[in-house]
Structure 1
Amino acid sequence: MSLKPAFAAMLRSVRDAQSRTQENVATTTSRTYLGHLENGNSNVSLDKLNELAHSLGLSPLTLIALTLSAHDECSATEALQQAQDEIRELGEAVKLEVMRAHLVDGKLVKRKAHRPADSEKRARVQACKAKGLTQSATAQELGLSKGTVHLLWN
Structure 2
Amino acid sequence: MSLQEALGVALRVLRTIHHLSQDDLHCFADAKHIHSIEHAKIGISLEMLEGLATSLGTPPLAFIALGTKFQSGQSRSAQLSDLKSELTKLESIVMDAMSAEFAEGKLITHCMNTISQEKLDAVSKCRAQGMSRKEASEALCIPQTTVNRL
After TM superposition, is the score higher than 0.5?
yes
User: Structure 1 pair 112/98, CA: closer, same or farther in 2 (3 Å)?
Assistant: same
- How far is the alpha carbon of 1:57 from its aligned partner? 1.8
Equivalent residue number for residue 20 of structure 1: 20
Distance 1:113 1:72, change over 3 A: farther
Distance 1:82 1:109 in 2: 33
CA distance in 2, matches of 1:11, 1:77: 22
Find the aligned partners of 1:58 and 1:11 in 2 and give their Cα distance: 10
RMSD of aligned C-alpha atoms? 2.4
Amino acid at match of 1:102: E
Inter-partner Cα distance in structure 2 for 1:57 and 1:33: 20
1:112 to partner: Cα distance: 5.8
CA contact (8 A) 1:8 1:40 kept: yes
Task: Name stretches of at least 5 consecutive residues in structure 2 with no aligned partner.
Answer: 115-138, 142-150
Provide the C-alpha distance between the structure 1 equivalents of 2:57 and 2:89, rounded to a whole number of angstroms.
Answer: 31
**Superposition deviation, residue 113 in structure 1:** 5.5
Task: Encode CA deviations 1:86-108: one digit per residue, 9 max, x unaligned.
Answer: 0112342122x431221344334
TM-score, scaled to structure 1: 0.63
Deviations 1:37-76 (A, max 9, x none): 0111010111111111122121110110011011111245
1:64 aligns with 2:64: yes
Work out which structure has the larger RCO, using CA pairs closer than 8 Å and 6 or more positions apart in sequence.
Answer: 2
Letter in 2 for 1:14: L
Give runs of ≥4 in structure 1 deviating > 4 Å.
Answer: 111-114
Structure 1: 5+ residue stretches without partners = 115-145, 149-154
Partner of 1:101: 100
Q: Give the conservation status (yes or no) of the 8 Å contact 1:65–1:80.
A: no
DSSP 3-state at the match of 1:7: helix
